[in-house]
Amino acid sequence: MKDKDNKDIRWMKLMDLGARLGCHQMPERSLIFGGYQFPLCARCTGVILGYILELISLPFIQPNLYIGLICSAIMFLDWFIQFINILPSNNHRRIVTGILGGYGIMSIFVSIIVILFNMIF
């Protein structure tokens, strides 16, 4: 029983961290693992994965500001279409568009840093 209590405490701390990061954590838009709701919704999870993917790919693929804008726009478009009730989204699409959006946001960020660095030096 003590092991379950420790898991519950860790889960509550992760849920608190997810909330502090700004995620709405709606259960129907979150993944469930081992009976526990993931501390970030599917789209926020995808965004974090996209950030990581961009940072891992930096040595191999030069970030591109325009590709970053397109990837971010795809995520926004998925959110907007869902928001105005044209087409409901699902967790699979939220993760995929979240990864694209996270990759795009990080590409934009890195591109701006490179541009500023080149202007200064």
Answer whether 19's CB lies under 8 Å from 44's CB.
no
Structure tokens at 73: 């726009």
Q: How crowded is the C-beta side of 24, counted as CA atoms within 13 Å?
A: 7
Radius of gyration of the chain measured on its C-alpha atoms: 17
Task: Parse the chain into domains and list their residue ranges.
Answer: 2-120
Sign of CA dihedral 77, 82, 84, 86: positive
pLDDT for 4: 67
Which pLDDT belongs to residue 15?
Answer: 82
Global pTM value: 0.83
In the chain (121 residues long), the average pLDDT of successive 10-residue segments reads 72 81 83 83 93 95 93 95 91 95 96 92 85
The pLDDT of residue 1? 52
